Amino acid sequence: MEFLLVGTIHFGETQDVVSFTDEDKRLIKQQDIEKLIETLAQYAPDQIFVEYPFSMQDQLTKLYIAEDASDPFKQNEIYQIAFQLAKKLKHPTVYAVDWNENIPGLASLDDVAAGPCAAEFSEIMKVANNQFEIMTTALRNGSLIELYEKINTDEFNQANHNIYLQLMQLSDEQAFNWTVNYWYYRNLKIARNICKALTPESKRAVILIGSGHNYLVKQQLQEYESFKVTNFADFLALNTVAKKR
């Protein structure tokens, strides 16, 4: 089984610590989205997995087959990219694989930010903001595909993952517990949900997910001997080489 891992930015509203402004989101051009969809169609996936609650698959399928959708959902990358790609390939649905629920008693990042390691946490967030500034600059200065190429490299994924590694080293146990019991747990659940959603006939699948998940989702899926995971940046590079031959 082969997967094309496409780390994405969030087109709509998000609860992420850092997110694009509405002004920056308006820089996303429809022709760039269509070009991205054409590029992903070349992979010819049998399934498309998205960052939507696994428990709400029926609702996602209803949204997919509906003639129209609400304006807020239309802004989402699931609608803009995954739905349009799936319809282009005549898929019956797209597949929800996310888990993102509150865990009773678990401290949040806001709690960590106000805790005994507030100064160290602030320094880690500066690194996160620097990573986000790279994304913002790429969006402002290039095309959507160029942005996606940038945020789907091993180098970028490792830099993102390092932020969570630093959080786990804080002496504040709240940071460690949040990283392990929420962040790692969430990505393990995503990998598990992907496995559960696989259909018997599938040979290839696209995973469209927030780019911050790239490192752990790829790591966890690659632990299965029968799975091969390719970053979107590597897929672009291979396509470029193939076209030159």
Which tokens is 123 given? 């320094």
pLDDT grade for 208, boundaries at 50, 70 and 90: very high
Residue 140 predicted with pLDDT over 50: yes
The sign of the dihedral angle between the CA atoms of 50, 5, 211, 233 is negative
User: Averaged over 218-245, what is the pLDDT?
Assistant: 86
Residue 163 contacts residue 132 (beta carbons within 8 Å): no
Q: Where along the chain do its domains lie? A: 2-244
**Over the chain, what is the mean pLDDT?**
92
Q: Which residue has the tokens 């504040």?
A: 172
φ and ψ of 146, to 5 deg = -65, -40
Rounded Cα–Cα distance for residues 41 and 89 (Å) = 7
Q: What is the pLDDT at residue 33?
A: 94
Q: What is the pLDDT at residue 245?
A: 46
Residue 193 contacts residue 47 (beta carbons within 8 Å): no
Rounded Cα–Cα distance for residues 114 and 28 (Å) = 35
Q: What is the pLDDT at residue 143?
A: 87
Q: What is the pLDDT at residue 104?
A: 94
pLDDT grade for 14, boundaries at 50, 70 and 90: low
Q: How many C-beta atoms lie closer than 10 Å to residue 21's C-beta?
A: 9
Convert the pLDDT of each residue in 149-207 to its tens digit: 999 999 999 999 999 999 999 999 999 999 999 999 999 999 999 999 999 999 999 99
Convert the pLDDT of each residue in 123-139 to its tens digit: 999 999 988 888 888 88
Q: Which residue has the higher pLDDT, 136 or 100?
A: 100
* Stated length of the chain: 245
Can you give the three-state secondary structure of the chain, one letter per residue?
A: CEEEEEEECCCCCCCCCCCCCHHHHCCCCHHHHHHHHHHHHCCCCCEEEEEEEHHHHHHHHHHHHCCCCCHHHHCCHHHHHHHHHHHHCCCCCCEEEECCCCCCCCCCHHHHHCCCCHHHHHHHHHHHHHHHHHHHHHHHHCCHHHHHHHHCCHHHHHHHHHHHHHHHCCCCHHHHHHHHHHHHHHHHHHHHHHHHHCCCCCCEEEEEEEHHHHHHHHHHHHCCCCCEEEEHHHHHHHHHHHHHC
Residue 20 contacts residue 210 (beta carbons within 8 Å): no
